[in-house]
């Protein structure tokens, strides 16, 4: 029997003096698909942050599978000033993407030792790091995005969401956490997202007001 990716037991969280949820218990199994629904302010996004580990609970316990990797899609994606699409994609918490970033920085740094570059190159080969950019560009091309040099600040809300989805879906993570993934998307892209999530074989938890998407 496979171990749950995450297990919550009697978890409670309060915002200020307002209880968001009390004594919440559930587990997320490998390849399981979960949707959170509820009114604004009910704590859905907060619960996603707790699952990701970026927010602590007030009471209760959380057990995460050892080595669990999580990829997040924020409701409002953030980037640094001057970031282009490629910068945003590689500004990721995914360990493999971070490896690629370290390798590229080492190549560009005149002070890098040959041994360091050699070790990173070997790790890139072993872990498939040389395929990461192809994953990004392949998914982007399916969404008719070809130019990775476009500044993030110039993109529409729909384009930003598409790029953020690509970063999330290209991850090697075991669990995807998606906060309002269909916001700003047209129907064709929503159908594309539905297909990609199912094909991924990954567990995912999503927060959405789109009941059609949940039912699909």
pLDDT, tens only, 90-127: 888 788 888 888 898 899 888 888 889 999 999 888 88
CA atoms within 13 A on the CB side of 200: 27
- Partnered with residue 211 across adjacent β-strands are none
Answer for the pair 32, 203: CB distance below 8 angstroms, yes or no: yes
Q: How far apart are CA 100 and CA 198, in angstroms?
A: 27
Task: Dump pLDDT digits (tens) for 30-42.
Answer: 999 999 887 777 7
Q: What would the two tokens of residue 134 be?
A: 């192809």
C-alpha 196, offset from chain centre: 14
Answer for the pair 34, 5: CB distance below 8 angstroms, yes or no: no
Percent of the chain with pLDDT over 90: 62
Q: Is 70 exceeded by the pLDDT of residue 1?
A: no
Domain 1-68+174-216 CATH assignment equals 3.40.50.410: no
Residue-range domain boundaries for the chain: 1-68+174-216
Mean of pLDDT over the chain: 90
pTM of this prediction exceeds 0.85: yes
Q: How far apart are CA 210 and CA 1, in angstroms?
A: 33
């Amino acid at each position: 029997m496979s171990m749950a990716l995450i297990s919550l037991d009697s978890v409670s969280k309060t915002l200020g003096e307002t209880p968001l949820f009390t004594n919440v218990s559930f587990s997320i199994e490998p390849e399981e698909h979960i949707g959170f629904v509820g009114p604004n302010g009910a704590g859905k996004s907060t619960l996603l942050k707790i699952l990701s580990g970026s927010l602590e609970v007030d009471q209760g316990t959380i057990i995460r599978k050892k080595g669990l990797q999580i990829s997040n899609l924020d409701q409002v994606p953030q980037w640094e000033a001057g970031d282009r699409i490629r910068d945003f994609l590689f500004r990721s918490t995914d360990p493999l993407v971070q490896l690629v970033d370290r390798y590229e920085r080492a190549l560009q740094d005149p002070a890098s030792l040959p041994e360091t570059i050699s070790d990173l190159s070997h790790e890139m080969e072993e872990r498939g790091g040389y395929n990461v950019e192809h994953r990004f560009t392949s998914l982007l091309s399916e969404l008719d995005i070809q130019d990775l040099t476009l500044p993030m600040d110039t993109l529409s809300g729909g384009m930003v969401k598409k790029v953020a989805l690509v970063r999330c879906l290209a991850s090697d993570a075991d669990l995807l956490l998606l906060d309002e993934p269909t916001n700003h998307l047209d129907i064709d892209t929503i159908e594309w997202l539905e297909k990609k999530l199912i094909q991924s074989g990954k567990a995912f938890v999503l927060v959405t007001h789109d009941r059609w998407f949940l039912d699909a």
